[in-house]
Structure 1
Amino acid sequence: MTLWCWGANSHGQLGLGTVSEQVEKPATVELHLYDNKVKQIACGGAHTLLIDNAGKLYSSGWNNKLQAANDNEEYVFQRTWKLSGITFTNIACGWDFSCGVTDDQYLFVWGSNAYGQLGLPKEHFAESMRPIRLHVRATLVSMGLRHTAIVNSKGEVWTTGFGKHGQLGLGNDVLSSDRFQKVDGVGKISHIACGQNHTVAWCSDEKALYVWGDNTHGQLLLSSVKYKKIFKPNKIDIGVNQEVKKLLSGWKNVLLWLQDGTLLAWGSNNYGQLGVQNSVPTGIYTYVSLPGGRHVKDIALGSEHVLCLATDNSLWAWGWNEHYNTGMNTEDNRQLPTLVPLETNATITQIYAGGAFNFIVTEELDNADLVDKNDNRMLYQ
């Protein structure tokens, strides 16, 4: 197994042992996971979390608010010993805050709580927090710029943090919260994603999308002229009668990956993050296609760029490229899916995108392993 990275590295978030404005082409990361492998990576504004297949947590990068859960800012992946003995099954990062879900579905949070985004009452807790376990259980979690949303085993949504734009979904009389509150008016949620100032959720039972928060760029799939902000969940039937593999959000754009491989995208396209050259009216989604009729194996969204793995093991990127986050050797943004040059023939098994940086995992697989990976490619999320 090999971990690769590229893009912004202002605080050592790539784990290469150095700090730089950016890493312009994919480089390999030296990892010390012993006999374990990478299970999941979560990328924040300039910090990175990693869990291995034993549920152990590692981190690197920006730590000014303790979001990396270390005593100091580290530029290589370090084991977070404060959380040793805890098995994590899911992790997420916001701009400067983080969380992890344990194998018994309890939620740990750490980092900035300046806006109550950790769900800790501000009168009792500091603005920068070391890891603490909440009396909250979660199966899904997502973090935005200043807010957090979780889904519990019942499919209920609970939110906390900054809510001026309606991103908490708690109504226009609740513009902030420093503890998790239940969001009413949604079905049993199976997927959730936080953007910069909005939240989107999917109900598999109803085959329906629920949206709330900022809609300035049409990221709620509603007309931005008529709907600037939505303070309570709005249910939208988008005519999708199949399962959803992933619901993802960038800062101001959203992507839906369907069971049949279709990619639907909407919201801001100011950097080409929708993957189409033509302008897309707000309130309408567009179809995204990979060149040559390729099929999607996995996809990840950064703040304003997209990383996509095709079933033929080719890697594609589009959108914002100021920090070479699409892997191209120019700072020009990419409006269409563009092939990422990789100096390896190994099989790409996992992809991740952050604020302006990326990670991929490659493995040398034989043919039998390859069939197994393709048959079970959605076991990891």
Structure 2
Amino acid sequence: MLLFSWGANSHGQLGLGIVNEQVEKPSQVVINSSLFVTGIKQIVCGGGHTLLLDAEGKLFSCGWNHKLQLGTEKECSSFERIWNLGGIVFTNIACGWDFSCGVTDDNFLFVWGSNSNGELGLPKDHFPEILKPFRLQVNACAVSMGLRHTAIINSKGEVWITGCGRHGQLGLGEDILSSDRFLQVPKLGKISHIACGQNHTTAWCSDEKALYVWGDNRHGQLLLDKEKYKKVFTAQKIDIGVKQGIKKLLSGWTNTLLWLENGTLLTWGRNNYGQLGSDKSVHGKLVHVELPDGKKVKDIALGSEHTICLMDDNSLWAWGWNEHANTATNLEEKFISHPTLVDIGLEPNLSITQIYSGSAHNFIVVKESENSERKLQVMEPKVV
């Protein structure tokens, strides 16, 4: 297994052991074999920090740590074990801007980092604004974190939410604009997927094949008339004509994406950086992302304002914001408005198996193809 990363690295969030403005091309992360050797289950990225969950449920982190969002005492530019959480098996993790969380194998939720807006679900009168890992007595099966709010789905399909709600992102009505403990979002069906954006929240009900949205709608990220509905404080149910299951519901800062079971990519919201994969004026409209040459999606990941997409032929494509070489394509362009091939330079015996994206940085997991006898070739980091 090989791990590569690229993009913004001002806090060492790429895990490359260096701190610099950006890394322009996918570069190999040195993996300490004494820490995790069983494979990578999940990587999530915050504003300037990264969490890694290995196949055994152990947690690692690197990057920005001014609010203790790494779960450790110090900032680091290489992945280090979060020993404060040693002995606990995690199944799912998430990052907000400067806060983090993990779901355990018995569906408890650990939270840490900034709690200045109550985003950790802990009363600010009794807990500090910067918190070390703390276990909440809440049932959590899935979790998503935005800029300043957190949402969880419990085993009943209910959504519980906490944090800043000035833009309506809590979905608790105009009378509750902030919360420092988890409260149930009313008027929802049984939710199967949840995604927090910068100041909005999107949920999907698989039983109803329906979308629920609430929060900031200034850029049409709720698929509602942005002149009439600039902020939505209670969940609105939307029928977008999807009559099949979905593989993923993802959110950037101000855009959202649905990956359907038939492979279709539907996206909507802000498009100032081409994050919808189009150069047209499509704010607030549902967009079908046009993939090149009939390619089929194997996996997809969203950053704050860019997208990376793995195709079934092992090629990687990207579009959107490119200021920090987020897309690893044309470095002279600040944004890429159409799906564009990322030249990774992998040897034929290597294939990409996992992709992850954060605010302005990315990770891919690469493995040697079965029955290959060729020697692995790795790339040297190109830094700026």
Alignment equivalent of 1:361, drawn from 365, 372, 376: 365
Alignment equivalent of 1:209, drawn from 208, 211, 214: 211
The equivalent of 1:60 in structure 2 is 62
Alignment equivalent of 1:266, drawn from 265, 268, 271: 268
Cα offsets for 1:134-172 (capped at 9, x unmatched): 001101100000000000000000000000000000000
Counterpart secondary structure, 2:138: strand
The alpha-carbon deviation at position 329 of structure 1 amounts to 4.3
1:81 paired with 2:68, answer no
1:152 paired with 2:151, answer no
Query: TM-score, normalization: structure 2?
Result: 0.94
CA contact (8 A) 2:270 2:283 kept: no
- CA distance in 2 between counterparts of 1:35 and 1:72 reads 24
The equivalent of 1:226 in structure 2 is 228
Query: TM-score, normalization: structure 1?
Result: 0.95
CA contact (8 A) 1:324 1:331 kept: no
The alpha-carbon deviation at position 367 of structure 1 amounts to 7.2
Matching residue's letter, 1:355: S
- CA distance in 2 between counterparts of 1:5 and 1:21 reads 14
Moved over 3 A (4+): none
Identity rate, percent? 67
The alpha-carbon deviation at position 365 of structure 1 amounts to 2.1
The alpha-carbon deviation at position 231 of structure 1 amounts to 0.2
Superposed, 1:41-56 pairs within 5 Å as 41-56=43-58
Counterpart secondary structure, 1:136: coil
Counterpart secondary structure, 2:293: helix
The alpha-carbon deviation at position 34 of structure 1 amounts to 4.2
Matching residue's letter, 2:30: E
The equivalent of 1:336 in structure 2 is 338
- CA distance in 2 between counterparts of 1:200 and 1:126 reads 29
- CA distance in 1 between counterparts of 2:174 and 2:366 reads 46
The alpha-carbon deviation at position 35 of structure 1 amounts to 2.9
The equivalent of 1:298 in structure 2 is 299
CA root-mean-square deviation? 1.0
How many residues end up aligned between the 2 structures?
367
- CA distance in 1 between counterparts of 2:155 and 2:290 reads 34
CA contact (8 A) 2:109 2:136 kept: yes
Cα offsets for 1:316-356 (capped at 9, x unmatched): 00000000000124141100000011021311110001010
The alpha-carbon deviation at position 281 of structure 1 amounts to 4.2
The equivalent of 2:7 in structure 1 is 7
CA contact (8 A) 1:25 1:329 kept: no
- CA distance in 2 between counterparts of 1:184 and 1:351 reads 34
The equivalent of 2:24 in structure 1 is 24
Counterpart secondary structure, 1:171: coil
- CA distance in 1 between counterparts of 2:332 and 2:305 reads 14
CA contact (8 A) 1:323 1:331 kept: no
Alignment equivalent of 1:349, drawn from 348, 353, 367: 353
What are the ranges of 5 or more consecutive residues in structure 1 without an aligned counterpart? Answer: 369-381
- CA distance in 2 between counterparts of 1:34 and 1:98 reads 20
Superposed, 1:29-178 pairs within 5 Å as 29-32=29-32, 33-178=35-180
The equivalent of 2:187 in structure 1 is 185
Identify which range, 322-331 or 136-145, moves more after superposition: 322-331
CA contact (8 A) 1:24 1:329 kept: no
- CA distance in 2 between counterparts of 1:69 and 1:38 reads 19
1:255 paired with 2:291, answer no
The equivalent of 1:379 in structure 2 is none
Cα offsets for 1:187-225 (capped at 9, x unmatched): 000000000000000000000000000000000011101
